[in-house]
Amino acid sequence: MKKIYGVIGDPVAHSLSPVMHNAAFEKRGMDAVYLAFRVSMDELGDAIRGAKSLGISGLNVTIPLKEQALFFVDAEKVAKKIGAINTIDFSSGRPVGYNTDGIGSLRVLKETAGEIKGKSVLIFGAGGAAKAISFYLDTEGAKVTVANRTKERAARLASKLSNADAIGLDVELKERIKDSDILINATSVGMHPHENATLVTADMMHPDLVVFDIVYTPMETRLLKEATRAGVKKIVNGVKMLVYQGAASFQIWTHEEPPIEVMEEAVTDALIRTS
């Protein structure tokens, strides 16, 4: 019997998770399919309960549902600490929530920036993805500054970390960036169809900065274009994080080794075709 997996979010049409996971299933010879389901915040509980009733094997959760979805699952320990989930597994008969965003982002940053301990990281956003990334950076010994339009929300996130502070976006960001080793956009700013949006411009950056944008549609966001203009040498788009967090979800659901190269190639090809 074919197994069904999927991603829930609102919006969700932009998601390349179906392309990525279906390529992985084909590579591993699995009788499975991965679909995208648009689910509003008001329908979230019904959607998760319905997925369980319909025999869906697993779900990913994307914006803006990651935090609220925590209340409809049995969250594993790390996800509970983070306060958000992006993966649901139904194999035990009940929905169990995990968070693989932090795993994916940390792997990307270690490949790009090397040792994380002692690094000063400025992260934009205080939602589900920002929570996961900040949690893993904090456990690795980074000094995290959370920047968000609503400073109170940034402060709530920072208070859960061992070495973090919070700022609003009305501060002098250029000074903050000057003292940062890594800059991460963990918001949807710059995502299609708002490709021209950015929170940071070239004049605010320095060449030794690592700039990481979790947005992957488009592959080169306005933020990354500004980083190139500033002479930044280490620039990372959201494709690797999508692949690595997806690979971790794949392993949770199937207990199989994920074909990471195939998954990345599928995402990259899809982005090139639509660019």
- Residue spans of the domains in the chain: they are 3-99+242-274, 102-237
- The predicted structure's pLDDT at residue 172: 87
The mean per-residue pLDDT over the stretch 261-265 comes to: 98
- The predicted structure's pLDDT at residue 274: 84
- The predicted structure's pLDDT at residue 171: 85
Do the two domains 3-99+242-274 and 102-237 of this chain adopt the same fold? Answer: yes
Task: Report d(CA 237, CA 108) in Å as an integer.
Answer: 10
**pLDDT > 70 in the chain, percent:** 100
Q: Which residue is it, tokens 């990354």?
A: 224
CATH class of the domain at 102-237: alpha beta
Q: Is the pLDDT score of 275 beyond 80?
A: no
Q: Tell me the sheet residues that pair with 234.
A: 210
CATH second-level architecture of 3-99+242-274? 3-Layer(aba) Sandwich (3.40)
Q: Are 116 and 134 in contact (CB under 8 A)?
A: no
- The predicted structure's pLDDT at residue 170: 86
Q: How confident is the model at residue 194 (pLDDT cuts 50, 70, 90)?
A: very high
Task: Report d(CA 237, CA 213) in Å as an integer.
Answer: 5
The mean per-residue pLDDT over the stretch 174-194 comes to: 95
- The predicted structure's pLDDT at residue 101: 96
Q: Are 108 and 241 in contact (CB under 8 A)?
A: yes
- Dig out the tokens for 7 from the structure: 């991603």
Task: Report d(CA 239, CA 19) in Å as an integer.
Answer: 13
Catalytic machinery residues: 66
3-class DSSP assignment, residue 171: coil
pLDDT digits (tens, 9 = 90+) for 81-126: 999 999 999 999 899 999 999 999 999 999 999 999 999 999 999 9
pLDDT digits (tens, 9 = 90+) for 116-169: 999 999 999 999 999 999 999 999 999 999 999 999 999 999 999 999 999 999
For 88-119, letters b (16+ CB in 10 Å) and e give bbbeeeebbbbbbbbbbbbbbbeeebeebeeb
3-class DSSP assignment, residue 185: strand
Cα distance between the two ends of the chain? 36
pLDDT digits (tens, 9 = 90+) for 240-260: 999 999 999 999 999 999 999
- The predicted structure's pLDDT at residue 210: 98
Q: Is the pLDDT score of 6 beyond 80?
A: yes
Query: Rounded to two decimals, what is the model's pTM?
Result: 0.93
pLDDT digits (tens, 9 = 90+) for 60-71: 999 999 999 999
Q: How confident is the model at residue 17 (pLDDT cuts 50, 70, 90)?
A: very high
